[in-house]
Amino acid sequence: MPVLDQFSLKGRRAVITGGSRGLGLEMARALGEAGAELIIVGSDAGHLQGATAELATAGLQIHAVQADLSSPAATEALCERLLGDFPPIDILVNNVGGRRINTPTEDLALEDWQRIIDLNLTQVFLCTKKLGGAMLPRGWGRVINIASINALWPGKAMRGRSYETSKAAVAMFTKAVAADWAAHGVTVNCIAPGPFLTDANQRWIRERPEFQAEVAASIPMGRWGDPKEIGALVVYLASEASSYMTGSMLVLDGGKLLW
């Protein structure tokens, strides 16, 4: 097959959790442009409607499903719904995650720790188990987990450490499940993004404007990532082009981890 044809996703169906904004929206756009039918998941109906209208206007095949993935019970219900309404699912992008608090470890309440672990890790397990597990009998599938460079490196300005801990666990979960499923044609890889200018980071910048220049200065390329710069990598991981890759963590950070 000619090399560019290996990136085609025609006939594939992809679920992107957190596909309504930020990195998830750009990954959905890229997967759709490569030919996949899209199902985006988010917790906010307005954000889902906006993303659906934008991607449909661009000519992409798109469905939206509302669910709160910070709740394990709601995540399980979402998976059952997706398996019932949109079979078969070929590609799963586990993108939902984040933190939104910056409490030092010594003050962090157990409930807050658990909430961050559930948001970043437990739902990745549940979606992989249910949606990835359903790929096994078909002998082909792609699971792509969005970790973070904070799986490898504790952020200097971060506190609480539940985020880094959960992202490191996502990275090891990726490797372990990849090994288990390699013989079944289902690959499991993860992307470790560095700093990207999404809503989540714009919020930190609004609270402390100098944060933007400080981070840019800490990156060898001298700038934050543009969310559009993750699209080609997810298409690679979702397609035949990555047929011999599984259990890998691909760092996408403008060189941030080099210094």
Ligand X SMILES: NC(=O)c1ccc[n+]([C@@H]2O[C@H](COP(=O)([O-])OP(=O)(O)OC[C@H]3O[C@@H](n4cnc5c(N)ncnc54)[C@H](OP(=O)(O)O)[C@@H]3O)[C@@H](O)[C@H]2O)c1
Q: Of 96, 134, 169, 235, which one interacts with ligand X (CB under 6 A)? A: 96
Considering the rule CB under 6 A, would residue 82 count as an interface residue with ligand X?
Answer: no
Window 207-246: residues binding ligand X (CB under 6 A): none
Q: At closest approach, how far in Å is the CB of 222 from ligand X?
A: 16
Q: Which residues are catalytic?
A: 163
Considering the rule CB under 6 A, would residue 145 count as an interface residue with ligand X?
Answer: no
Considering the rule CB under 6 A, would residue 174 count as an interface residue with ligand X?
Answer: no
Q: At closest approach, how far in Å is the CB of 22 from ligand X?
A: 2
Instruction: Work out whether the CA dihedral 17, 22, 27, 32 comes out positive or negative.
Output: positive
Shorter beta-carbon distance to ligand X: residue 5 or 226: 226
Total residues binding ligand X (CB under 6 A)? 28
Q: At closest approach, how far in Å is the CB of 101 from ligand X?
A: 13
User: What binding mask, one character per residue, do residues 102-141 give for ligand X by CB under 6 A, x or -?
Assistant: -----------------x----------------------
Footprint of ligand X on this chain (CB under 6 A)?
Answer: 18, 20-24, 42-44, 47, 67-70, 95-98, 119, 146, 148, 193, 195-196, 198-201
